[in-house]
Structure 1
Amino acid sequence: MTSEQSTPSAPEAPETASPRRAGIRYALGRAVATPLARMVYRPHIEGRENVPRSGAVIFASNHLSFIDSMAIPVAAPRPVHFLAKSSYFEGTGLSGAASRVFFTSVGAIPVQRGGGQAALDALDLQRQLLEEGLAVALYPEGTRSTDGRLYKGRTGVAFLALQTGAPVVPVGLIGTDRVMPVGAKMPSVKERVTVRFGAALDLSAHGPASSGRARRQATDEIMAAIHALSGQELAGVYNEPPAAGPIEKIKQVLPHERR
């Protein structure tokens, strides 16, 4: 695959978002939610000893269900942050307040979703979290797999790892798509989830973050580790959203680096 060799432009920090440390609300939410979720869903957790207990770390996982971002923090032996749509924090009334409390308590940080500047802002926010020595969870596929296959990884995770020096812990999630399939409003308690943490990856040998080749090779190493943990069928292509028009269709087939 041809990848661009130019250095990604350094995104400016978003004006309205800032990294937030695990405060009292998160600590209380984690203390309540983690044992409750483990009691209800009885997850199989493997490889917790592979997770560094301190310092920056990136959890790079396959993505099958909405609850993946809850499964990883519940299973991990340390606090984990992930980015969530800002709309989850903007509701009004009792339901809006409940949504804000829930997502904050599980380590979610609001961001504007989308491409262009929004994507660069999200990348920069994740870098700030890592520079604070925190743990973040990311999905190299970019979006959920609706057919259960493992899609090609985008290079944003590798870029962050190479730029910050943070190790990458690959994660294989199994069964989250059965617990809460796409379109389901509530998770099922009849199914069990398996969360597998692989050995931490030091990707620095691939080269600097400014190298497109290094980003691509590091991404392929991450995806190979995820595949070994999840056992999914490989799709061999990117998980692209439906093209909105003819220009987007052309852009999807042209050689370019997916971030």
Structure 2
Amino acid sequence: MWYLLFKYVVIGPVLWVIGRPRITGMHHIPKSGPVILASNHRAVADSFFLALMVRRRMTFVAKAEYFTRTGLEGWLMRWFLTAVGQVPIDRSDADAAAGALRTAERILREGGIWGIYPEGTRSPDGRLYKGKTGVMRVALMTGAPVLPVVMTGTERVNPRGSRRLRFGRVGITVGAPLDLARFAELAQDQRVVRAATDQLMAELHRASGQEYVDEYARRDHPAAV
């Protein structure tokens, strides 16, 4: 109930006015059944605009830090993120991260939509960074289709370091499912998972036009402050 309330009554109307979002490729998203939407990541608002424009309910993973803040503000943040379908992922501990991926597997096996940012964090400088392999590990284990998603304009509507939204134009492009057939039989091989991840990032690079950086995005990057 809270998800729909936030989407259509509380937050959605504001996002429509501020970002004037438009989406193409919606027909690639199946009306039912599991699917992974793997997107580039330009701003915190990416998740909100994507959830607004996709008709089906989505579940994302969010930084665990958002769920561990103290006081009234921390409680409100946890309640809000849970209400809008986000689950925490601790990026500092491999076992905790594996737990988040197990949660993603459960979401998909129940026929849901899992939204994920393969870069693992927002781009610190507008470029596209090397993808982490978790998304493709889950995809190959569950057989869920992976749709590359390109977000544009959110970095202007929701600038890094600012809590205020600015007027702009948000674009969302949903691509066709990736062909992962050649990887399926060797899904446990880390080199195969890496190759599948690189294919995903190559498609995001092609569709977004962002400059590609063959290294992981760092949260301590000077531009990330």
Q: Select which of 28, 31, 43 maps to 2:5.
A: 28
State the Cα distance separating 1:159 from its structure 2 match: 0.6
The one-letter amino acid of 1:106's match is V
Aligned to 2:176: 199
Name the CA distance, whole Å, in 2 between partners of 1:35 and 1:169: 26
Name the CA distance, whole Å, in 2 between partners of 1:218 and 1:38: 35
| Bigger-Rg structure (1/2) | 1
Q: Which moved more, 1:212-221 or 1:126-135?
A: 212-221
Change (3 A) 1:235 1:29: same
Secondary structure in 1 matching 2:128:
coil
State the Cα distance separating 1:105 from its structure 2 match: 3.3
Find out whether 1:78 has 2:56 as its counterpart. yes
Identity level (%): 44
Find out whether 1:217 has 2:195 as its counterpart. yes
Question: Which sections of structure 1, spanning at least 5 residues, go unmatched?
Answer: 1-23, 244-259
Find out whether 1:129 has 2:98 as its counterpart. no
Aligned to 1:239: 217
Contact 1:88 1:100 survives alignment (8 Å)? yes
Aligned to 1:142: 120
Name the CA distance, whole Å, in 2 between partners of 1:109 and 1:57: 17
Change (3 A) 1:26 1:211: same
Contact 2:23 2:172 survives alignment (8 Å)? yes
State the Cα distance separating 1:151 from its structure 2 match: 1.0
Find out whether 1:51 has 2:24 as its counterpart. no
Contact 2:18 2:168 survives alignment (8 Å)? no
Stretches of 4+ aligned residues off by more than 6 angstroms: none
Q: Select which of 159, 168, 171 maps to 2:149.
A: 171
Change (3 A) 1:150 1:86: closer
Contact 1:57 1:135 survives alignment (8 Å)? yes
Question: Which sections of structure 2, spanning at least 5 residues, go unmatched?
Answer: none
The one-letter amino acid of 1:201's match is L
State the Cα distance separating 1:96 from its structure 2 match: 4.3
Aligned to 2:206: 228
Change (3 A) 1:241 1:98: closer
Name the CA distance, whole Å, in 2 between partners of 1:89 and 1:213: 33
Secondary structure in 2 matching 1:82:
strand
When normalised by structure 2's length, the TM-score is 0.87
Change (3 A) 1:238 1:220: same
Higher strand fraction (1 or 2): 2
Higher helix fraction (1 or 2): 2
Aligned to 1:63: 41
Secondary structure in 2 matching 1:178:
helix
Q: Which moved more, 1:37-46 or 1:47-56?
A: 37-46
Change (3 A) 1:215 1:112: closer
Name the CA distance, whole Å, in 1 between partners of 2:145 and 2:58: 14
State the Cα distance separating 1:104 from its structure 2 match: 2.8
Q: Select which of 92, 99, 109 maps to 2:77.
A: 99
Find out whether 1:120 has 2:94 as its counterpart. no
When normalised by structure 1's length, the TM-score is 0.76
Query: Across the two proteins, how many residue pairs are aligned to each other?
Result: 219
The one-letter amino acid of 1:115's match is D
CA-atom RMSD in angstroms: 2.2
Name the CA distance, whole Å, in 1 between partners of 2:131 and 2:65: 26
Name the CA distance, whole Å, in 1 between partners of 2:181 and 2:93: 27
Contact 1:161 1:203 survives alignment (8 Å)? no
Deviation string, structure 1 residues 53-106 (Cα, Å, up to 9, x no partner): 211111111111111121211121211101223454455665445434432332
Contact 1:165 1:204 survives alignment (8 Å)? no
